Amino acid sequence: MPAWGSHPARRSGILKIAADDDGPTSGAPNELVGAHPDLLTLAEDARRRLARFCGLHLTPFTWLHMTALIAGPADQISTEQIRQMAAAARRLLADVPPVTVTFGKILYHPEAIMLSARPAEALIPVLEAARHAAREVTGNPGRAGNKLPLTPHVTIAYSTARQPAGPIISALGQSLPERRVQISSVSLVNQIGPERNWNWHPEATIRLGATELYSALVAPGRMPARCGLSLVDVWRGNSTSE
């Protein structure tokens, strides 16, 4: 088995659009996929199996995520462009229904251990909307959260030291008990500094299928008192990467 290595962080101030789940405390900054209890169960299981190994940086449960797009360096994207990108994504995702994916299969990479999200094709409409929103506002389609072929995933651990992969693979295995998770929103996240510093600031949350939700909420001839907050929850408060 090849040895694992680590590389220094090469990015700072990155703006991301990351898929998340509609959790019980809508709009809180920890509402990336880690808020979903089934995914949290998988992450906790993986942590128990990896506990005896050094040289691994474990993703905080708060920030478990899937990266749909890296829109560009944050210092090159204005606050107004962030607002416009969120509005564009909201419009493009209004008719895209929530997506259900299955987690359980483990992916191994020299720099990380990941949970695969399958089928990958189910997330293509979300990824396309993210790219179109970035290009519409900045003129740049951004960079995909992972290289081709499309492999959406949640990283559960990053490699920080060289070590044999074999014992880790034997401890964790090729898969964990499968869990189905519904992805119902995306978050626009401002990443300050290296990813693993976890200095992340969610700027907006956009619900998938907002048109359908709006139709269900609004009776004919009536406007809900808080339709904006019902459809898009804005990050508030303070909080303790691909």
Position 203 scores a pLDDT of 85
User: pLDDT 10s per residue in the chain (242 long)?
Assistant: 334 444 433 333 455 656 554 443 333 333 466 568 888 999 999 999 999 999 999 999 988 888 888 888 877 888 899 899 999 999 999 999 988 999 999 999 999 999 999 999 999 998 899 899 999 999 988 887 766 678 999 999 999 999 999 999 999 999 999 999 888 888 888 888 888 888 888 888 888 887 554 444 444 443 332 222 222 222 222 333 35
Q: Is 26 helix (H, G, I), strand (E, B) or coil?
A: coil
- List beta partners, residue 179: 103
Distance CA(43)–CA(59), nearest Å, equals 9
Position 148 scores a pLDDT of 65
- Axis crossing angle, helix 79-93 with helix 124-138, rounded to the nearest 10: 140
Position 228 scores a pLDDT of 24
Position 10 scores a pLDDT of 36
What is each CA distance from 185 to 5, 41, 110, 160, in whole angstroms?
A: 34, 20, 30, 31
Position 19 scores a pLDDT of 58
Position 185 scores a pLDDT of 85
Nearest to 25 by CA among 235, 210, 206, 176: 235
pTM (predicted TM-score) = 0.78
Position 52 scores a pLDDT of 96
Strands 153-159 and 200-207: unpaired
DSSP of 179-203, one letter per residue?
EEEEE-EEEEEEE-SSGGG--EEEE
Domains of the chain: 3-231 (3.90.1140.10)
Position 187 scores a pLDDT of 87
